[in-house]
Amino acid sequence: MPPTVPGTGSLQGKRALVTGGSRGIGAAIVKRLARDGAYVALTYVSKPDEAEKAVTEAQALSGRALAIRADSADAGAVVAAVDRSARELGGLDVLVNNAGLAVMAPIDTYRLEDLDRMLAVNLRAVVLATQAAAKHMREGGRVINVGSCNAERMPFAGGAIYAMTKAALVGLAKGLARDLGPRGITVNNIQPGPTDTDMNPATGPFADTLRGLMALPRFAAADEIAGMVAYLAGPEAGFITGASLGIDGGFTA
């Protein structure tokens, strides 16, 4: 397990929203942005205790954080969460579209309701949150989408719809970079590989299979994914936009 990276202070005073920030990769991103000095809002759907834990840890690091209950499948809730974050934090500089859903099933049995929810959470919510956040952002704003290595490689059956939603984020980042670039706002997409979280543990039933697909035969730590997000949110990444950056241990190599 890589050591925890100390805060750099590079985001001092910045205001950030992380969707799906109560657990796993999202919670790691919340803590890393707070460690670097940002005020952070997060959204969650269930388990308010986990959301409050993430808020408490972020507050201890940067002094200011809040949790907002908002289902990313609900268009109105997505927009309201962005506007509330900007209002309570005093503005918005960073949006991390992390909330995501994975429903795996063969295409011949894939249910319409699962398709609709996947499109709503993994794609529509990203568009709506970015549209709402752009109204609050000034020059130097950052939009960072958390995609997946499965946008580039889907090595097993049943993942077609999930891979489609994550591949769409590649094109979305390119297009949004053109839309928002003239305002000095960057838009990027990261593509994590297998990451050790409670939903996909490194000791899970499919872990050995996944490690066998990678150049580095281990799962990422959530803090490693958060580190890439923090870099893209910081001042050193100001000339990176429209990019889809892999952090997958060689899953797509």
How far apart are the C-alpha atoms of 81 and 16, rounded to whole Å? 12
Q: Which pLDDT score, from 0 to 100, does residue 6 have? A: 56
Q: How many CA atoms lie within 13 A of 47 on its CB side?
A: 12
Nearest to 126 by CA among 162, 99, 150, 87: 99
Q: Which two tokens stand for residue 128?
A: 């709506």
pLDDT tens digit sequence for 141-196: 999 999 999 999 999 999 999 999 999 999 999 999 999 999 999 999 999 999 99
Domain architecture of the chain: domains with CATH = 15-247 (3.40.50.720)
Q: Which two tokens stand for residue 98?
A: 């992390």
Catalytic residue among 39, 44, 162, 231: 162
Q: What is the mean pLDDT of the chain?
A: 96
User: What is this structure's pTM?
Assistant: 0.95
Q: Which two tokens stand for residue 201?
A: 């543990």
Say whether 44 is catalytic: no
pLDDT tens digit sequence for 97-147: 999 999 999 999 999 999 999 999 999 999 999 999 999 999 999 999 999
Residue 1 has pLDDT above 80, yes or no: no
